[in-house]
Chain A
Amino acid sequence: MSAAVPSIELKGVRKRFGSAVAVDGVDLTIGDGEFFALLGPSGCGKTTLLRMIAGFEFPDSGRVLVEGKDVARVPPNERPVNMVFQHYALFPHMTVADNVAFGLRMKRLPQDEVVDRAAEGLRTVRLESLGGRYPHQLSGGQQQRVALARALVNRPEVLLLDEPLAALDERLRQDMRVELKALQAKVGISFVFVTHDQEEALALADRIAVMRAGRIEQVGTPQEVYEAPATRFVADFVGVSNLLPGAVVEVEPLLMEAEGGTRRALLEVGGLGRVSAFLMNGARAGDSVTLCLRPERIHLASDGSEAELENRVPGIVQSTVFLGGEVRYRVMTASGRELDAHEISSPLRPVRRPGERVLVQWRAEDARPVRE
């Protein structure tokens, strides 16, 4: 459990099913005590990756290390990891207490220890009074907590969770997020979960790996993945983006040390004209880039008002959706480009009507160039 040994290391892991490549060369290191998300659309290989860590699939090539030990060929029942399955997979013919005690009984622990640890497990998830019930007598949230207790009583090195909140309704999901996060802090082991819900990944994880077609597109903290998406796919999959293809016109010589190696540049973007943004080192005039502009970073000003931000493009409001806390506009620029702009609503700022002329503005640092 020393800090030097990561919980999980994947090295060049590949897996195919028939002719379909599920995981196509994944390298990943998950630190001790980390809450880690594998995020991606269905079929991106995230579940296969999780099942390889659990031992239900063996990689065709590459290494899977848990706590520094290569387990690529070790069956699931001999690995120091436990899993919370999608839809929980609670044993319907056993009581909650027997479900939770199952793993301890399989290890042939003495009966008093089984009883004590199962009771302790139920206390951890605040279900101590429901040990005698059957799973179908519990609510979805309670079933989820039984599944957590059933896995955690085995004291795994790593807890794996397959779409842990997908089966819950929206309200309960919000509550369980808070609860899961608190539980992970309490038990202190690494949690690795698979989700297709970017909001869930952002809300829960310390770090996120965004996957696409069997490969990892980007690994980073929620803020990194959201604010500095590495690729067009990440920008599109995590949050909402205006993705604007363009080309570099001129790179300014000024070095922005604080920005970690980025340089201010002038871009020509179709439908917007010339805009300024920060580029990664190495970009040259003539390179093509895609600009990722988040809708909430756009400020709309009334036509004719004083411009405040450095990038500004005139446009006309196409549609308005008032959502209470937020107003969502779609704006058409003068040269025919549609942009989504989300503004926090305010009693001091009237909701703009379709047809209204506006000035679309944003700061240079709020638009990110991304790779294709």
Chain B
Amino acid sequence: MRRISLLAAAGWTTLAFLYLPILVLVVFSFNSSKYGASWGGFTWDWYAKLFSDHKILSSTWNSLVVAALSAALSTAMGTFAAVARGRQPTAAERAKEAFFYIPLIIPELMLAVGFLLFFGTLKVDLGLWALVIAHTTLNLPIVWLIVKARLEKLDPRLEDAAVDLGATRWQALLRITLPLLAPAVAAGGLMAFIISVDCFLISFFVAGPSTTTLPIQIYSMLKYAISPEVNALSTLLFLASLAAVVAAWLLQGGEDAAIH
């Protein structure tokens, strides 16, 4: 019994370590006192203010547009890349595949600088399209990994069975493989969307002066002081991310029940 309660204590401590800063943020987003760390009473005012702030609304819109476009692009490309790959790759093919997920572990700052140079060299205007391209790159490995993991769980005989029953390879892909991959594709798309919405560093480098995204807006509001408005905005962003991750997780869990 004693050991179990110790373990429980360790677990709660870890959770507290992970989530206390966020909890503080959430609590202070309801604080009616504008300055300092003192509690002045509960209020929804900061949330109400968000929805009348023109800059916040336009940067939210920018973020959603960039996220939607880059998620769509990276989902299509990532799914295609995962499906195009052989089912039983050789060791050499697996080694080559590392190139698909190395971007995940490259320091984001490096990617950001790289994109800045890349767009400069190609004379691409910084702004919306530069953001979409950069975010697609950032998202692609995530989508690829999620779809590939799902594909590896599929019985390759399913496609063979479809072909045996008269389908062409293309029909087998459309009618059997892609429908069975759908939950993973959706989960990958959601993850891509939320990674794009949350992305600050790369956006900061390639957004240009005209296209402010939500994280950049928050950063610019922080230059003078931490306002409760920022707390409220961050809380909403946190909830949206949480919802997306939970939805992606459910999608990937639900698929297994259908297969096994």
Q: CB within 8 Å of B: which residues of A?
A: 54-56, 75-77, 82-83, 85-87, 89-93, 102-103, 106-107, 134, 136, 150-151, 154
Q: How far is the CA of A105 from the CA of B196 in the complex (A)?
A: 42
Cβ A93 vs Cβ B166 within 8 A: no
Q: How far is the CA of A86 from the CA of B260 in the complex (A)?
A: 16
Cβ A85 vs Cβ B157 within 8 A: yes
- CB neighbours of B155 from chain A (8 A): 87, 89
Distance (Å) between the CB of A288 and the closest chain B CB? 45
Given contacts A56-B160, A87-B157, contact A92 B166 (CB under 8 A): no
Q: Which 8 A-B pairs have the closest CB atoms?
A: A103-B165, A106-B166, A89-B157, A89-B161, A85-B157, A83-B164, A77-B166, A106-B167
Cβ B166 vs Cβ A103 within 8 A: yes
Contact for A136 among B171, B179, B180, B258, CB less than 8 A: B258
> Does B13 have its Cβ within 8 Å of any Cβ on chain A?
no
Cβ A92 vs Cβ B165 within 8 A: no
Q: How far is the CA of A125 from the CA of B164 in the complex (A)?
A: 20
- CB neighbours of A54 from chain B (8 A): 164
- CB neighbours of B179 from chain A (8 A): 93
Q: How far is the CA of A134 from the CA of B260 in the complex (A)?
A: 11
- CB neighbours of A90 from chain B (8 A): 161
- CB neighbours of B160 from chain A (8 A): 56, 76, 83, 85, 89
Q: How far is the CA of A150 from the CA of B158 in the complex (A)?
A: 13
Which partner residue on chain A sits nearest B158 by CB separation?
A89
Contact size range, B: 10 to 19
Contact for B165 among A56, A102, A136, CB less than 8 A: A102
Contact for B166 among A85, A87, A154, CB less than 8 A: A154
**Given A77-B166, A91-B161; 10 other pairs, CB 8 A cutoff:** A55-B164, A56-B164, A75-B163, A82-B164, A86-B157, A89-B158, A92-B259, A93-B180, A106-B166, A106-B171
Given contacts A91-B176, A93-B179, contact A107 B166 (CB under 8 A): yes
Q: How far is the CA of A90 from the CA of B167 in the complex (A)?
A: 15
Distance (Å) between the CB of A92 and the closest chain B CB? 5
- CB neighbours of B165 from chain A (8 A): 77, 82, 102-103, 106, 150-151, 154
Q: How far is the CA of A154 from the CA of B258 in the complex (A)?
A: 27
> Does B162 have its Cβ within 8 Å of any Cβ on chain A?
yes
Proximity string of chain B (120-161) to chain A, C-beta cutoff 8 Å, 1 when within and 0 when not: 000000000000000000000000000000000001011011
Q: How far is the CA of A117 from the CA of B112 in the complex (A)?
A: 60
- CB neighbours of A151 from chain B (8 A): 164-165
Which partner residue on chain B sits nearest A107 by CB separation?
B166
- CB neighbours of B260 from chain A (8 A): 136
> Does B168 have its Cβ within 8 Å of any Cβ on chain A?
yes
Cβ B158 vs Cβ A91 within 8 A: yes
Contact for B164 among A77, A86, A93, A134, CB less than 8 A: A77
Which partner residue on chain B sits nearest A101 by CB separation?
B165
Q: How far is the CA of A193 from the CA of B213 in the complex (A)?
A: 62
Distance (Å) between the CB of B165 and the closest chain A CB? 4
Name the interface residues of B158-206: CB closer than 8 Å to any CB of A: 158, 160-168, 171, 176, 179-180
Distance (Å) between the CB of B200 and the closest chain A CB? 39
Q: How far is the CA of A83 from the CA of B166 in the complex (A)?
A: 11
Q: How far is the CA of A172 from the CA of B160 in the complex (A)?
A: 26
Q: How far is the CA of A136 from the CA of B256 in the complex (A)?
A: 11
Distance (Å) between the CB of A342 and the closest chain B CB? 39
Contact for A85 among B161, B167, B168, B258, CB less than 8 A: B161
Which partner residue on chain B sits nearest A82 by CB separation?
B164
Given contacts A75-B163, A77-B166, A77-B168, contact A92 B157 (CB under 8 A): no
User: Could you list 5 examples of A-B contacts with CB < 8 Å?
Assistant: A56-B164, A83-B160, A89-B157, A92-B180, A103-B166
Given contacts A89-B158, A92-B259, contact A77 B180 (CB under 8 A): no
Of A92, A102, A154, chain B has the most CB atoms within 10 Å of the CB of A92
Distance (Å) between the CB of A53 and the closest chain B CB? 11
Cβ B163 vs Cβ A76 within 8 A: yes
Which partner residue on chain A sits nearest B159 by CB separation?
A89
Cβ A76 vs Cβ B164 within 8 A: yes
Q: How far is the CA of A82 from the CA of B166 in the complex (A)?
A: 9
Distance (Å) between the CB of B90 and the closest chain A CB? 10
Which partner residue on chain A sits nearest B157 by CB separation?
A89
Distance (Å) between the CB of B174 and the closest chain A CB? 12
Proximity string of chain B (28-70) to chain A, C-beta cutoff 8 Å, 1 when within and 0 when not: 0000000000000000000000000000000000000000000
- CB neighbours of A75 from chain B (8 A): 163
Q: How far is the CA of A352 from the CA of B130 in the complex (A)?
A: 89
Distance (Å) between the CB of A113 and the closest chain B CB? 15
- CB neighbours of A89 from chain B (8 A): 155, 157-158, 160-161
Which partner residue on chain B sits nearest A154 by CB separation?
B165
- CB neighbours of A107 from chain B (8 A): 166
Proximity string of chain B (246-260) to chain A, C-beta cutoff 8 Å, 1 when within and 0 when not: 000000000000111
- CB neighbours of A103 from chain B (8 A): 165-166
- CB neighbours of A56 from chain B (8 A): 160, 163-164
Q: How far is the CA of A87 from the CA of B160 in the complex (A)?
A: 13
Distance (Å) between the CB of B101 and the closest chain A CB? 28
Q: How far is the CA of A68 from the CA of B166 in the complex (A)?
A: 21
Q: How far is the CA of A93 from the CA of B162 in the complex (A)?
A: 13
Cβ B161 vs Cβ A77 within 8 A: no
Of A55, A77, A154, chain B has the most CB atoms within 10 Å of the CB of A77
Given contacts A77-B168, A91-B176, contact A102 B157 (CB under 8 A): no
Q: How far is the CA of A76 from the CA of B163 in the complex (A)?
A: 6
- CB neighbours of A92 from chain B (8 A): 180, 258-259
Name the interface residues of B54-89: CB closer than 8 Å to any CB of A: none
